[in-house]
Amino acid sequence: MTKVSCPICEKKMPGPHIEWPDYPFCSPKCRKIDLGRWLGESYRVPAEEQGSREEDSNSE
């Protein structure tokens, strides 16, 4: 048996989750919160510098 709870408010979800319109969240509110977190974190992730290193140790 697997009990699922809302990842945002950790509210235990009763019944089969297939019935939740906002799975895996308990409500549209929690879904929104999760989305906001996601977007908030995505721009916090440092962009990896790709070949933008300036190494001038090989100059002739």
Stretch in the footprint of Zn ion (CB under 5 A) among 14-22, 29-37, 38-46, 47-55: 29-37
Chain length of the chain: 60
- How far, CA to CA in Å, does 36 sit from each of 6, 14, 45, 47? 16, 25, 15, 20
Stretch in the footprint of Zn ion (CB under 5 A) among 14-22, 27-35, 41-49, 52-60: 27-35
Confirm or reject binding of residue 8 to Zn ion (CB under 5 A). yes
Confirm or reject binding of residue 31 to Zn ion (CB under 5 A). no
**Alpha carbon distance 57, 60 (integer Å):** 9
How many residues interact with Zn ion (rule CB under 5 A)?
A: 6
